[in-house]
Chain A
Amino acid sequence: MSALLETKGLTKSFGALRAVDDVSLTLAAGDTLGIIGPNGAGKSSLFNLIAGVMPADAGQVLWQGRDITTLSAAERCREGVGRTYQIPKPFDGLTVYENLLVAAEFGGGGGDGAEAKLLCCNILDQMELSHLADAAAGGLRLLERKRLEMARALATRPKVLLLDEIAGGLTDLECGSLIAAIRDIKAQGVAIIWIEHVVHALFAVVDRLAVINFGAKIAEGPPKATFESAEVQSIYLGIEA
C-alpha cells in the first residue's frame, strides 16, 4: 500500500540559496511527523512545496501514490492537504464563522449547505471559538488567530494537516491548550506534519521527528532519540559534541 503523502528528492533554490535540498519524506495515514531546524533552514519552504504554493525545481510530491507535483494549491487542498501559515492569514473582512464556511465549501471536496455548516459549528466548538463565531476575524488576538488558522484548515476536511509554528509566541498556558487541541485532531486520524521550535510541544504529540538544516534532511527517527543525537545537538543548538 502506498503512503498517504510522499516527497521524493524535493528541491527548491532561490538564486544561489538552496532552500530545500533533496528532501524525501514519507507519511502514512494517521502519522504524525515533527520537523525542527534552525531559522532559515527551509522548513516553511518545504511546506510551500508540499502545499503547492510554489513550484519545485526538482523532485516529486506523491499523494496516495499519485504524482501531484504540478497540481495547484487549491487542487491539493481539495485532495486533502490542509495547511496553516506561520503568520496567521485570516480573512479579516469575514467573520470567524465565515472563515470556516468558505474553507468547508471550497476545500476538501467542497459541499454546500447543512453539512458544511454543521462541520463549521463542530470545529468552532472543538477549537473553543464558538463565542467568537460572528465576530470579525480582523479583530482577533494572537491565540485566537492561531486557533482560527487551525480551525480553518480543519474545515477543509484534511487527510494531512501541515502546521507551521502554530505554538510560537504563545504563553505556556495557551500552548498547553493548543497541544490538547492538536492531540484531538490526531485522535481523529488526521495525519500531521508539524514544524515547531517549541520542542516540548512537539514531543507531546508527534511519533517521529525529522531535522532539517540548510535545506537538507539530516536526521529522522523517534523524537527523543533523534533530538538527543550528537549531530542534531551540535547543528540545531550550536553545542559542540
Chain B
Amino acid sequence: MQISRADSVRIGLLSVVLIGLSMGPYWADRGTMRLLIEAFYFLALAQLWNLLAGYSGLISVGQQAFVGLGGYLLFTLTMFAGLPVLLALPLAGILTGILAWPTALVAFRLSGPYFAIGTWVIAEVYRLSFAQISSLGGGSGISLPTDIVRSMADGRSARESLTYWIALAIMLAVILGIWALMRSRVGLGLGAIRDNEEAATSIGVRTTRLKFSVFVGVAAMTGMIGALIFLQKLRITPEAAFSVNDWSVLVIFIVVIGGIGSLEGPILGCILFFVLREFLADLGSWYMIILGVISVGIMLLEPRGLWGMLNRKRSLTLFPIARRSPKLKSLNQDTP
C-alpha cells in the first residue's frame, strides 16, 4: 500500500499529539492533569453525541441519563458487589447499554423534537428515581469509600495518573472506534441516513434498526464515561450525575460550535470550549451567556461550525472517511 504525503503528515501529527498526551503525568502538574482528564471525557461525550445527532439524526438531550447511570453503577458495583474498580468501569458501561434498551423502546416511539424532549424527560425520571435510593445516599448523594479509592493504586499521584490514562484511553477508543465505524459498511448507511432518511430506506437501509443499535451502543460508551467521571470526582449526587447542563448542554455546545457531522468538528469545539472556559470562568453567569451568544453566532455564520468555516471546500481532513472509486484510481495511474 502506498502512503501519500497527506497521510504521512496526518500520521506524524497524530503521533506527536498522542505521545505528548500519553506522557501527561510526567510533564503536567495536578491542575493541568485534572483539566486534561475533563477535556478527554468531554471530547468523548461530544464525539458520541455527534454520532447520535450528526450521523444518525437522533437529537437527544437526555444523554445525562446514561452518564448518571454509569456513575451510579460504578458506585453500586464497587460498594455493594465488591468488584475491583477496573472491572466495575467497563461493566458499568455494559449494564448502562442494557438499561438503554428499554429506554430506547420508549424514546423511539417519538420522533424529531418529541424525541429530544422525551429523552430529557426520561433522564429526569432516572434522576428522581436515584434520589429515592437511600442506600446510595438519596438526594444528597454519596462518596466513594476511602478503601475502594485506595485499592486503585498506591498513593494519590499514582491514582491520578491511572485515572488520566484511563480517560485518555477511553477518548482514543471512542474517536478511533467512531472513525472505524464511519469507514465501514454501517458508516456508509449512517451517512445515507444523515443526508436523507427516506431515500436511505428506499435503497434498503434498515434505518430504525441501525439507529436503535447506535443509540444503545452510544449509551453504553456514555455510561462508561459516566463511571470514569464520578471515579475522578469520588462523589456522586443525583443533581451532578443527571445534570442536563453539564452532560447535554455543554456537550451540544462543543459539537455545534466545532462542526456537527464530522470527526474533526468536536475536537475543535472541545479546544475552543476549554480555552473560553479558562478565560471566562471568573465571570459567573456571564460565562454561560457568552457561550450562548457565541454558539448562536457561529450557527448563523456557518451551520457546519468552525470546522466548516476552515474547510469550506471540504478538501481538508484529519480522519479521511470517503471511499474512492476503484476505476478512477487505475485511470490516474495510466496517465502520467
Interface residues of A (CB under 8 A from B): 51, 53, 72-75, 77-78, 83, 85, 89-95, 97-98, 101-103, 105-108, 110, 112, 117, 120-121, 124-125, 130, 133-134, 136, 152-153, 155-156
Contact = CB atoms under 8 A, between A and B. Distances in A.
B325 A102 contact: no
A135 B324 CA distance: 10
B199 A134 contact: no
Smallest CB-CB A-B distances: 8 pairs: A107-B204, A133-B325, A91-B195, A97-B325, A89-B199, A77-B204, A106-B204, A103-B203
B295 interface: no
Interface in B198-252: 198-207
B203 A134 contact: no
A116 to B, nearest CB: 9
B327 A98 contact: no
Interface in B163-218: 185, 188-189, 191-192, 194-196, 198-207
A90 B110 CA distance: 26
Residue of A90, A91, A133, A155 with highest tally of chain B CB at under 10 A: A91
Interface of B: 185, 188-189, 191-192, 194-196, 198-207, 261, 314, 322-328
Contacts of B328: 97, 130, 133-134
A92 B204 contact: no
Contacts of B203: 77, 102-103, 106-107, 152-153, 155-156
Nearest to B322: A95
Contacts of B185: 105-106, 112
B323 A97 contact: yes
What secondary structure prevails in chain B residues at the interface with A?
A: helix
Contact of B201 (A53, A93, A105, A117): A53
Contacts of A110: 204
18 contacts: A74-B204, A74-B205, A77-B201, A89-B198, A89-B199, A90-B199, A91-B194, A92-B195, A95-B323, A97-B323, A97-B328, A98-B191, A98-B323, A110-B204, A117-B326, A130-B325, A133-B325, A153-B203
Contacts, number: 109
A97 to B, nearest CB: 4
Given A89-B199, A134-B328, A72 B314 contact: no
Contacts of A95: 322-323, 325
Residue of B185, B201, B325, B328 with highest tally of chain A CB at under 10 A: B325
Contacts of A101: 188, 323
B188 A102 contact: yes
Contacts of A51: 202
Contacts of B324: 97, 134
Given A77-B204, A120-B325, A98 B198 contact: no
A98 B191 CA distance: 10
A72 B95 CA distance: 31
A73 B202 contact: yes
A98 B201 contact: no
A130 B327 contact: yes
Given A97-B323, A98-B323, A134-B325, A72 B195 contact: no
Contact of B196 (A91, A98, A112): A91
A103 B198 contact: no
A53 B198 contact: yes
A74 B206 contact: yes
Given A72-B206, A101-B188, A120-B325, 14 more contacts: A72-B201, A74-B206, A75-B206, A78-B204, A90-B196, A94-B195, A95-B322, A97-B323, A98-B191, A102-B200, A124-B325, A133-B325, A134-B322, A134-B325
